[in-house]
Amino acid sequence: MSLLSVFRLPKVVPALFVCGLVFSSSSSAAISLEQQRNLYDQAQDWLDEDDVAAYQKVRAKLKNYPLAPYLDYRAMLVNIGKKSPQQVREFVHNYRDYPFSARISAPYLTALAKEKKWQEFLAFQHHEPIGESFQCDYYYAKWVTGDQKSAFRGARALWLKGDSIADECDPLFRAWAQSGGRTDALIYQRMLLAFDARNPNLISYLAQKLQDQDMMQWGMNMLELYSHPQRIVYFAKRFPHTSQLGDLIELSIKKVARSDAKKARRLLNSVKELPHWREKQTHNLARYITLQLLHDDDQTLVQWRDSVVAASKDPLLVQIRTRLAIRHADWQGVKAWISLLPKHEQESLRWQYWLGRSDMELGLKAQGTKRLSKVIGQRNFYSVAAANALKQSIHYPNHEVNYRAGVVAPYTKALDRIDELIKRDKIAAAKREWGWLLDRVNHTEKEMLAVYAANQHWYHLTVTASISASLWDNIELRFPLAHQWWFKFWGNKHNVDPITLMSVARQESALDADAHSSVGARGIMQIMPSTARYTAKKYQLDYSGADELYDVGKNIEIGSHYFKSLLKRYDKNRIFALAAYNAGPARVDRWRSETQGKLGPYAFIESIPYKETRGYVQNILMFEVYYRDLTGTQGRFLTSMETQARY
């Protein structure tokens, strides 16, 4: 399928946009753009020293410089605790078109709390703020100003957590405890939360706060059962069945189940006949134990496990059990388990594909062909899989966007700022501006902004706008042809398909060269610094450290080397290599040992136990389809080797 006519990105009207930057003629004559940039940097230096007076002397000269409002924000932060709530509120209103208007509350509340200006704190913050520290300050301010009822209600809610709580909460909790609000019953309730959160240190700390002798005994019981949860039957026989015992039974059996589900099931059988034991407790524990057993083939437990799944009709349990049937090529079982899913789930492309495959495997060719034919023609992994099963061509919907420059004209100032931030290498700020803008425009405007970003070669911003606008069927906007030279250069050098590398980058970072994940992966191909060091050392690459991973060329160089090593490890099989890039080679090797070469490619992908990795592999294989169509590159969804291999 050719996509050359999907849409044409028009040249942006020069009168409206000049490299994304607009200045009045008089301003340009008075001071050049480069001079404004230098003056802006100088003003930033002054504000680093809290020299607001020096900044104010040059502010007028920066009137038309797109980033000047950022100086106003920094100036506002200087001694912000001295500002009145009205001043800060007016600043937020006047700068409501800028993302920093939503961020100024945090430093202001922090300053007010530090200076113990509780009246001003509540005058500015009329409702519970976001963030634990600010919430504690908010309720402490309530207590200081006489609203004890609200303060202690907030303290109780904040305190009842299984994890440690911010130090800012200590004054509030002291006042609450001294008033008698922190009872033994609440302490024990929090100990249960800590047990569930796997926080033994907090359990031990709280046990020391108990006053009542009976509650102290239950605290000691909990500590012992956390260390030795298998002793729960002994405790169940020794102590009267109270709510305290019931809670400990559930938590202890769950803890056992995480390491030994078979033993947990035996414990459940031992306690479920206790007086006052509720059927709901049996159901909850049976479900929890079953989740641990869904990848266990022990025949002594299979019947019990399957009976729990069937009785529960829990979509999550049923889907996992269906994948287990696929893994065992139990095609009758696949159909039976899918029939237990909610109707809308059964009708999804995923399960219609597997029903069709099951029909084909069971000799019901006409029925299977009919079902698979209905799946074809969608922008979906299972649609392509169905087309391959029936040896039909791949096609999917692809919609045009007719660009109208006038739609984005009202947002010229915001676009100017984004352009200047990108040119000044302030990428994080540019992304914040873009997100702020997208959150405040309608659907049509989002579409036009996506095209505008594509025209500016703002690759990551194009992707985020296409997602925000739900442009799922516009392939050109969702999959920009970013950094082609680097992908082709390193792909060809390492004999790795550049299309695969592009697809990995699109999945990993949405083409964000500045991406930094919560676990530390960096850059366009989201490489961990440890992986980069290992790869650079192994292949003798020049590599100066983790910050270099934000360089597109270096990131793709290291990423392509690493991916090549995975392809080599798995005999050029992309399914294994992609799964390993996401979940690690050790996990992929374990999954292969469990399936023992009994599966085809689609069944193996479906049987991957991690939802993230399963979707990761499916997405990248689909992204390759789109990129091949966009670039006019020939290629198959799965190679002959990948199709014929056993998994």
Q: Known catalytic residues?
A: 508
Q: What are phi and psi of 522, to 5 degrees?
A: -135, 150
Q: How far is CA 498 from the centre of its chain?
A: 26
Question: In sequence order, what are the residues at sequence separation of 6 or more whose Cβ sits closer than 8 angstroms to the Cβ of residue 137?
Answer: 109, 113, 121, 168
Q: In sequence order, which ranges of 242-314 are alpha helices (DSSP H)?
A: 243-259, 261-271, 279-293, 299-312
The answer to whether 130 touches 138, Cβ cutoff 8 Å, is no
- Alpha carbon dihedral 362, 363, 369, 371, in 10-degree steps, equals -30
- Straight-line distance from the first to the last Cα atom of the chain, in angstroms, rounded to the nearest whole number: 31
Task: Please report, as a single letter, which amino acid is at residue 455.
Answer: N
> What whole-number distance in Å separates Cα of residue 428 and Cα of residue 387?
42
The answer to whether 325 touches 357, Cβ cutoff 8 Å, is no
Q: In Å, how far are 121, 124, 198, 549 from 139, measured between CA atoms? A: 10, 14, 28, 44
Please state whether 348 falls in left (phi above 0), alpha (psi between -120 and 50) or beta: beta
Burial 248-272 (b: 16+ CB within 10 A, else e): bbbbbbbbbbeeebbebbebbeebe
Tokens describing residue 217: 């005994």
> What whole-number distance in Å separates Cα of residue 137 and Cα of residue 573?
55
Tokens describing residue 273: 């006949």
Identify the CA nearest to 513 among candidates 474, 483, 545. Answer: 483
Output the DSSP codes for 210-238: --SHHHHHHHHHHHHHHH-GGGHHHHHHH
Tokens describing residue 571: 């005999």
> What whole-number distance in Å separates Cα of residue 167 and Cα of residue 610?
36
The answer to whether 184 touches 210, Cβ cutoff 8 Å, is yes
Dihedral sign for Cα 462, 464, 465, 467, please: positive
Residue given tokens 């680093």 in the structure block: 48
Q: What are phi and psi of 63, to 5 degrees?
A: -55, -40
Is 18 in a helix, a strand, or coil? strand
Q: How far is CA 430 from the centre of its chain?
A: 20
Residue given tokens 């025949």 in the structure block: 299
Residue 5 burial class via C-beta count within 10 angstroms: exposed 0-12, middle 13-18, buried 19 and up = exposed
Task: Please report, as a single letter, which amino acid is at residue 451.
Answer: V
- The partner residues of 527 in beta bridges, in order of sequence, read 522
> What whole-number distance in Å separates Cα of residue 616 and Cα of residue 258?
26
> What whole-number distance in Å separates Cα of residue 517 and Cα of residue 555?
15
Output the DSSP codes for 158-182: HH--SS---GGGHHHHHHHHHTT-S
Q: What is the DSSP letter of 546?
A: G
Is 399 in a helix, a strand, or coil? coil
